[in-house]
Chain A
Amino acid sequence: GQQVMQIPQYQHVQEGEDFTTYCNSSTTLSNIQWYKQRPGGHPVFLIQLVKSGEVKKQKRLTFQFGEAKKNSSLHITATQTTDVGTYFCAGRILSYGGSQGNLIFGKGTKLSVKP
């Protein structure tokens, strides 16, 4: 079936270091969404990217959508302990014949930050 691959699965950083998680799809995506789930919490929507090559920023977070709309990345500059959690990407397949509403979630990248 359709898959969205996300790497790395885990990332441990020292506070102040940068962090990046990557999402890759074998098929073209119509859009991609990013969610954050704090430990013990539920996923919370961060952002959606729609256009080829799109770059969006939220304070220390930078989101990119690849030119071919098959990959995306989330980069956090100078991590803080509040960034701890699991970051999920969710891609909507462009020409998915079944449910067009089905977002395909990556497995997530679990970020831990040492103070």
Chain B
Amino acid sequence: ETGVTQTPRHLVMGMTNKKSLKCEQHLGHNAMYWYKQSAKKPLELMFVYSLEERVENNSVPSRFSPECPNSSHLFLHLHTLQPEDSALYLCASSQEVWVSGANVLTFGAGSRLTVL
């Protein structure tokens, strides 16, 4: 248990489905992140939230929609995904985003997404 909990751990969805990934952190951190990890690419940063405010959006397609209702919870809403979106989606948190030494990432176990 890392202090960052992701659900579901595995998700299979069709291209027309709508689903959501959930992340919850119990570490009292102020920043939360979504990363995508696929077999061929390194960890790709998707979104960064600092105190519930989105501070980074790395040219992510609009079929991925993040939501951060409070500093402990982060969602990734998925709709009309493509098969190439199949990957491991990792949530992470850190104490702060911009303070060196306080931006060490604690990752959740990930949500393995398969798009058929």
Binds B, one of A40-48, A58-66, A67-75, A77-85: A40-48
Q: How many A-B Cβ pairs are below 8 Å?
A: 59
B113 close to A (CB within 8 Å): no
CA distance A8 to B73 in the complex (A): 37
Residues A105 and B42 in contact in the complex (CB < 8 Å), given A42-B109, A99-B48, A99-B56:
yes
Instruction: Name the distance in Å between A23's Cβ and chain B's nearest Cβ.
Output: 12
Whether A41 lies near B109 (C-beta < 8 A) is: yes
Number of interface residues of B (CB under 8 A): 24
Main secondary structure of the interface of A (DSSP, over half): strand
Whether A45 lies near B110 (C-beta < 8 A) is: no
Q: Which of A35, A42, A105, A106 has the most CB of B within 10 A?
A: A42
B31 CB contacts on chain A under 8 angstroms = 101
Instruction: Name the distance in Å between A22's Cβ and chain B's nearest Cβ.
Output: 15
Taking Cβ atoms with an 8 Å cutoff, the residues of B that contact A are: 2, 31, 41-43, 45, 48, 50, 55-56, 90, 96-98, 100-101, 103-110
Taking Cβ atoms with an 8 Å cutoff, the residues of A that contact B are: 30-31, 33, 35, 41-45, 48, 50, 88, 90, 92, 99-103, 105-108
Q: Which 3 A-B residue pairs are closest in the complex by CB-CB distance?
A: A101-B97, A105-B43, A107-B42
